[in-house]
Amino acid sequence: MPEGHSVHRIARQFARNFVGRRVHLSSPQGRFAAGAALLDGHVMTDARAVGKQMFLEFDHGLWLRVHLGMYGAWDFAGDILMDATIASANGRMGQTSQRGTDVDSAVLDAAVLDSAGENSMHSIGAPRRTRVRMAEQEKEIDQPGTFPPEPVGQVRVRLLTDTVSADLRGPTACEVLDPAQVQAVIDKAGPDPQLDDSTAAEDRFTAVVRRKPTPIGLLLMDQSVVSGIGNVYRAELLFRAQVNPYAPGKSLPEDTVRDLWRDWAHLLKIGVETGQMMTMDDLDGDEWRLAMKNRADRHWVYKREGLPCRICGTHITLAEMGARKLYFCPRCQA
DNA sequence: TAATTATGACGAC
DNA sequence: TCGTCCTAATTAC
């Protein structure tokens, strides 16, 4: 269920709780028993996300590659060091995003909301005994229990240290790779603004898009063109840019394509920092608070078919593109 | 209890 | 363009 922001957050979770520690791997479900044996008992040395792919490195040079697909998820349990959202926001106060929105005060709002107990997660400092499911969103499963927990359902692989466990279920990919194979996967991926926010990356994206006759709505979902965008961000980015999803890439003005890239970098950053796919920034405090609680208030067009466009009132259209649901405003995105 | 749905991606025609 | 794989939560009956 995740788009790029969640995969970066999950990689962070592994960096905080597993990197530098010896890990036992098993496959409670049995389907990954051979792969788990190749990595079992080694120290995790790195955790990285590239677009929607995650790579975990072990001390003998082999990697675990995981892609969650449409409904994969990681369940963490034990004494977990959680994302220090509040500390992060405090440490960055004053920075301003490209669009002129103060992302960090927004993050701080979210964190304050969390600490008020209205949302589910986040604390600072010491590990906390808990259970968390990380997919597109993160939710705390309240049920401390014993450690390690009994595997529930179809657990493809379990990673276990003295104090923390991580169960993977429903992935579309879970395999052991050598460094050359990892590099090959990364080489195929389009630029990920979370890893490379340079002008060169923007140039690369812009050049590729403006060369192709393919509809921009398909190009944004093509992971070799740009990494990390899924069905929600596709719809929202196109609405925010007032671009028709069917417009061929090569028909778009250069500035429009560059704006799409910069806006993706912007939304991805918000997603990584808040853990939410918040695509309506520029909200005031109360609106933001509401939107953080109710997904229905977070998007311009996604899952809003038949409802009035928030800008012009026209009914939002639902169509199909690339075998996925496409939402757009036929007037604003004419 | 069954059907539906999902924020992906791939390979065969 | 279609079928296929992966799983669980939600919705319908």
Is residue A151 reached through a cis peptide bond, with omega within 30 degrees of 0 on the bond before it? no
Q: How far is the CA of A83 from the C1' of C11 (A)?
A: 33
Answer yes or no: are the C-beta atoms of A43 and A27 closer than 8 Å: no
d(CA A127, CA A83): 10
SS3 content of chain A, % helix, strand, coil (to 5): 35, 20, 45
d(CA A57, CA A312): 49
Residue spans in chain A of domains classed CATH 3.20.190.10: 4-81+127-184
pLDDT of residue A306: 94
Q: Which nucleotide is nearest to A141 (CA to C1')?
A: C9
pLDDT at A168 > cutoff 80: yes
Q: How far is the CA of A324 from the C1' of C2 (A)?
A: 14
Give the confidence band of A122 by pLDDT, cuts at 50, 70, 90: very low
The mean pLDDT value for A203-220 works out to 98
pLDDT at A101 > cutoff 50: no
pLDDT of residue A120: 41
Strand B-proximal residues of A, range 286-315, CB below 7 A, are 295
pLDDT at A194 > cutoff 50: yes
Question: pTM for the complete prediction?
Answer: 0.90
Is residue A28 reached through a cis peptide bond, with omega within 30 degrees of 0 on the bond before it? no
- Which neighbouring-strand residues pair with A78? A130, A164
The percentage of residues in chain A with a pLDDT greater than 90, rounded to a whole number, is 77
d(CA A260, CA A245): 12
pLDDT at A97 > cutoff 60: no
pLDDT of residue A282: 78
pLDDT of residue A17: 97
Q: Which CATH number fits domain A4-81+127-184: 3.30.70.20, 3.40.50.2300, 3.20.190.10, 3.40.640.10?
A: 3.20.190.10
The mean pLDDT value for A198-215 works out to 98
The mean pLDDT value for A160-167 works out to 98
pLDDT, tens digit (0-9, with 9 covering 90-100), for A8-57: 999 999 999 999 999 999 999 999 999 999 999 999 999 999 999 999 99
Q: How far is the CA of A316 from the C1' of C12 (A)?
A: 25
CATH architecture of A191-328: Orthogonal Bundle (1.10)
Residue spans in chain A of domains classed CATH 1.10.8.50: 191-328
Q: Which nucleotide is nearest to A69 (CA to C1')?
A: B8
pLDDT of residue A1: 66
d(CA A188, CA A200): 17
